[in-house]
C-alpha cells in the first residue's frame, strides 16, 4: 500500500525558509501516471493547493505563492520536497503531501500523508 510521510522542522522563524520533504513508500515516485503535490491547511481554514511536480522535474505552482515556492524531486531517494521562502505567520499551517492522478483518478489527490504542522514564530 502506498504511503507518504512528511518530515521537517515544526518551527520556523519569520522571514526564513520553510523546508519539508515527503518520502514515498510502497510505490514508485517515477510512475508516469501521477504527479506529486503539496497542499496546506492554515488553522481553522480550508485546504490550499501549493504546487505539484512530475517525476521528470516539471513543476506547477499556485500563482499566489509562485514567487516564494520551489518544489523538487529526488527519484533515487523516492522523495519530493517543498521550500517556501520569506515566511510569515500566515504560512503557519498543516502541510500535506499527496499523489495526484493523471490517468486513473484523473486530477484528484488519491493518497495523502498524515500532515506536518509548521508554525512560523520567533
Which of residues 49 and 78 has its CB atom nearest to another protein in the complex?
Answer: 49
Closest distance of CB 15 from another protein, Å: 26
Which of residues 8 and 101 has its CB atom nearest to another protein in the complex?
Answer: 101
CA distance 53 to 36: 5
- Beta pairing partners, 60: 52
CA distance 69 to 97: 14
Closest distance of CB 33 from another protein, Å: 14
Closest distance of CB 107 from another protein, Å: 4
CA distance 89 to 12: 10
Which of residues 16 and 48 has its CB atom nearest to another protein in the complex?
Answer: 48
SS3 38: strand
Closest distance of CB 106 from another protein, Å: 6
User: Which grid cell sits at 101?
Assistant: 492522478
Which of residues 15 and 114 has its CB atom nearest to another protein in the complex?
Answer: 114
Instruction: Report yes or no: 22 and 6 within 8 Å, Cβ to Cβ.
Output: yes
- Beta pairing partners, 116: 95
Residues lying near another protein in the complex (CB under 8 A) are found at 37, 39, 45-49, 52, 60, 62-64, 96, 98, 100-101, 105-115
Amino acid at each position: 500500500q502506498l504511503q507518504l510521510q512528511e518530515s521537517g522542522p515544526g518551527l520556523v522563524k519569520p522571514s526564513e525558509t520553510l523546508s519539508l520533504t515527503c518520502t514515498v513508500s510502497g510505490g514508485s515516485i517515477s510512475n508516469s501516471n501521477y504527479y506529486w503535490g503539496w497542499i496546506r491547511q492554515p488553522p481553522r481554514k480550508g485546504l490550499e493547493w501549493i504546487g505539484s511536480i512530475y517525476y521528470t522535474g516539471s513543476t506547477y505552482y499556485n500563482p499566489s505563492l509562485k514567487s516564494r515556492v520551489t518544489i523538487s524531486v529526488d527519484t533515487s531517494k523516492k522523495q519530493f520536497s517543498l521550500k517556501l521562502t520569506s515566511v510569515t505567520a500566515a504560512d503557519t499551517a498543516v502541510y500535506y503531501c499527496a499523489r495526484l492522478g493523471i490517468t486513473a483518478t484523473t486530477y484528484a489527490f488519491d493518497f495523502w500523508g498524515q500532515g506536518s504542522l509548521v508554525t512560523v514564530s520567533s
